[in-house]
Chains A and B, each alone.
Chain A
Amino acid sequence: MFGRRDPDARGYFGAYGGRFVPETLVAPIEELEAGYLAARADPAFRDELDRLLRHYAGRPTPLYEATRLSAHTGRRVFLKREDLTHTGAHKINNALGQALLARRMGKRRVVAETGAGQHGVATATACALLGLECHVYMGAEDMRRQALNVVRMQLLGAEVRRVDSGSCTLKDAINEAMRDWVTNVTETYYLLGSALGPHPYPLMVREFQAVIGREARAQIVEQSGRLPEVVLACVGGGSNAIGVFDAFIDDPGVRLVGVEAGGERIAPGRHAARFAGGATGVLHGTRTYVLQDAAGNIELTHSISAGLDYAAIGPEHAWLRDLGRTEYAHVSDAEALEGFQTLARLEGILPALESAHAVAYLPQLARSLPAGAHVLVNLSGRGDKDVQTVMEALR
């Protein structure tokens, strides 16, 4: 039905995507696109990545039937355990893929942005492994709430550069990483962490994350004998969601549901649910749904989870939603906290606050499903990094 789903020659998924970048970046991005397409077609590159994913990152990750959570929810729930990868989140899948690509393209210097710090840690890890110089831009506010990840990156040999502009979160870290890239473009590889940004990033990041869905689809069929009714994932930029959705796109009986960050409430500056308050626009090189004001300035966002605290959503999500293939909901900070505690107490798993948004939507989702329905939840990361935040929030 949807087939391979490469964007068109200009990088569009339907009306979304494209390449809205300053002139200086056009030629380097064209070089990146050519480099990526060549690597994708090269069996040696794929073998090298597969080897690292298997023996270094710990893939395949388990699919775990969460029986106590299932009893609690009233539907059978299966968790795809991306939290069990090396570095503790799905981000490593993309970081290893792109770091290999950087090395293949002869770039010795890597820059990245990070929100929750998971992408920064994954990038620092991949750079250490492959002997690349690594600089990670991180908003001052995120450095405060994800202090543990800052130290992890530094221990891995990366330089963490503090960003004090704008809202001091992920959006501003991307601005600063792009400024670095535009300045040092000849020797620098920009390792973007989500399915966002100018073409070819949304395509490339999806492809590196598609391993999640490939594994999960085979695992759930093996364990339960059939496909699930729903695949559920949290959506910030949308890389873990598009990664797990990918293998199910052509299974019309499987609903694909993304959960955005509802924050405190759906009001300007208080949430990060692009489909609840956004309009089409351009941010960071891609045309998609963006939270913005009447004058076209990007709105501040809020979420208890740094990884979902971003004003735009990956362009392919916007396209799939237009086509009616995917659907999106949002849960509040308070609900996410409840999801976090539910999973901890019922299953002995501390999820990342990002992933807790998907868990938190289960009760509401369950009501729309027949008894006996199966739900696959992508548990995108583990929650060690969030313990402090959760403690403060519960106090």
Chain B
Amino acid sequence: MNEVRTQGRLANTFARLRQQPGATGLVTFITAGDPDLERTAGILRALGRAGADVIEVGVPFSDPLADGPVIQRATERALASGTTLSGVLDLVGDLRAELPPPIVLFSYVNPILRLGSEAFADRCRRAGVDGVLVLDLPIEEAGEFRTLLASRGIDTILLLSPTTTDDRLRRAAALGSGFLYAISRLGVTGARETIADGAQEMVRRIRAVSPLPIALGFGISKPEHVREVGTWADAAVVGSALVSVIAEAGASSGLDARVEEYVRWLKS
């Protein structure tokens, strides 16, 4: 509980963002292996060029029960191309040196358990992973896992929801590091037309108990969403909307350029 919070790339990135008046961080999520790991490499480089502040790399899992249809389909394509957690870790390791933004691995718990939590933590460190978010590992189950990551200088990113009670917010604030990921609405992942009504209130509740940076996600797809979120949170997360762009451009030679263009537009 009392060890020093990791002070890696994530902390530096958010510290830099807080020093730039009016800047909103952009956290971009992609499903690794969609359409395949080779093209994921190109996509990750494009995200780096476009100025994504944090890159979330989704590990495909056969039963993504917290995800909506867009990420479900991306997951199916990624699994069909033979993508595994181990392959994703190798890819991140290969690209780490040429990618400036911090990288957060986004996974369901079973692939990690299958690899072994400790082996997973070791491989994250070797690959240069900066943070890990496990969707179905609530704080009650996350203690030991967090220790394994923290001892290797890797942040455990915790997710907070509109149903999270104040008591749990405080516990998450004490356990989390890097940043806190607030989801703005109930339900599964997916792009929406507008930001959820309760999002600002959600961020206010978290601010009241934690100095950690806050990234707000679920439903964000446009530059105006990003700007709006930036008025109260440190960063906006764009997931399904970006995954849709990749799905549409997936087979074309213009994939990387399309991704780069979309992310630059989000930041405009």
Residues of A with Cβ closer than 8 Å to B? 10, 18-28, 165-166, 171-172, 174-175, 178-179, 182-186, 279-285, 290, 292, 294-298
Contact = CB atoms under 8 A, between A and B. Distances in A.
Q: Which 6 A-B pairs have the closest CB atoms?
A: A296-B114, A296-B111, A183-B187, A295-B84, A297-B62, A24-B161
A232 B123 CA distance: 45
Given A18-B141, A22-B159, A295-B85, A283 B164 contact: no
A18 B158 CA distance: 18
B63 A166 contact: yes
B138 interface: yes
Contacts of B163: 23-28, 185
Contacts of B63: 166, 171-172, 175, 283-284, 298
B213 to A, nearest CB: 18
B44 to A, nearest CB: 20
Contacts of B187: 24, 179, 182-183
Interface string B155-172: 000111111110010000
A223 to B, nearest CB: 45
Given A22-B135, A23-B183, A183-B187, A296 B141 contact: no
Given A20-B138, A175-B65, A282-B113, A27 B188 contact: no
Given A22-B136, A175-B65, A295 B164 contact: no
Interface in B111-163: 111-115, 135-138, 140-141, 158-163
Contacts of B138: 19-23, 26
A282 B61 CA distance: 12
Given A182-B186, A280-B113, A298-B62, 9 more contacts: A18-B141, A19-B140, A19-B141, A22-B135, A22-B136, A23-B163, A23-B183, A27-B164, A179-B68
Nearest to B62: A297
Interface residues of B, number: 39
Contacts of B114: 279, 281, 292, 294-296
Nearest to B138: A26
Contacts of A26: 138, 140, 163-164, 168
28 contacts: A20-B136, A20-B137, A21-B138, A22-B135, A23-B160, A23-B161, A23-B164, A24-B162, A24-B183, A26-B140, A27-B168, A179-B66, A179-B188, A182-B187, A182-B188, A183-B186, A183-B188, A185-B186, A284-B65, A292-B110, A292-B114, A294-B114, A296-B85, A296-B113, A297-B61, A297-B62, A297-B79, A298-B62
Contacts of B6: none
Given A22-B66, A23-B159, A297 B111 contact: yes
Interface in B45-84: 61-66, 68, 72, 76, 79, 84
Nearest to B181: A23
B115 A296 contact: yes
A166 B113 CA distance: 22
Contacts of A296: 61, 85, 110-115
Contacts of A186: 186
B109 interface: yes
Contacts of B76: 165
A296 B79 CA distance: 12
A175 B168 CA distance: 25
B136 A285 contact: yes
Contacts of B86: 295
A20 B158 CA distance: 14
A284 B61 CA distance: 13
Nearest to B167: A27
A20 B137 CA distance: 5
A214 to B, nearest CB: 33
Given A20-B136, A23-B164, A296-B85, A281 B65 contact: no
Contacts of B66: 22, 179, 182
Nearest to A186: B186
B110 A283 contact: yes
A290 B141 contact: no
A282 B110 contact: yes
A280 B109 CA distance: 12
Nearest to A18: B141
A47 to B, nearest CB: 33
Contacts of B62: 166, 297-298
Of listed B76, B86, B141, residue having the most chain A CB within 10 A: B141
Of listed B113, B158, B160, residue having the most chain A CB within 10 A: B113
A288 to B, nearest CB: 11
Nearest to B67: A179
Contacts of A18: 141
Contact of B113 (A23, A24, A28, A281): A281
B109 A282 contact: yes
A296 B116 CA distance: 10
A10 B144 CA distance: 14
Contacts of A22: 65-66, 135-136, 138, 159, 161
Nearest to B218: A24
Given A166-B62, A282-B136, A298-B63, A290 B110 contact: yes
Nearest to A31: B163
Nearest to B72: A165
A298 B111 CA distance: 9
A53 B192 CA distance: 46
A281 B138 CA distance: 16
Interface in B174-208: 183, 186-188
Contacts of B85: 295-296
A174 B112 CA distance: 22
A281 B63 CA distance: 13
Nearest to A177: B65
